[in-house]
């Protein structure tokens, strides 16, 4: 299945949930900005992908420290 197969309302629901998730966890990611552990790096990488994906869908969010612009 691809994103194009979703109806407009389904896509909006998925994007809204992803935006909520990104905003809800932004403080946690910011707290990991200076953490050099593998776990922290993996979390930052995952959030980097989330913010990049949302940007490709037209959603612009302020990125927390440690999450660089694409």
pLDDT in tens, 2-50: 778 999 999 999 999 999 999 999 998 888 888 999 999 899 899 999 9
* CA 47 from centroid of its chain's CA atoms: 5
Give me the pLDDT at residue 6, please. Answer: 92
- Return d(Cα 50, Cα 17) in angstroms, integer: 12
Greatest extent of the chain over all pairs of C-alpha atoms, in Å = 41
CB atoms within 10 A of CB 19: 15
pLDDT range class, residue 55, cuts 50, 70, 90: very high
DSSP, res 63: P
Helical packing angle, 8-24 and 38-56, nearest 10°: 140
Give me the pLDDT at residue 65, please. Answer: 77
| pLDDT beyond 90 at 66 | no
């Amino acid at each position: 299945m691809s994103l194009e197969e979703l109806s407009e309302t389904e896509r909006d629901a998925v994007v809204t949930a992803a935006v909520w998730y990104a905003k809800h966890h932004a403080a946690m990611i910011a707290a990991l900005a200076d953490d050099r552990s593998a776990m922290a790096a993996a979390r930052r990488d995952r959030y980097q992908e989330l913010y990049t994906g949302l940007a490709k869908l037209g959603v612009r969010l302020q990125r927390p420290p440690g999450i660089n612009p694409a």
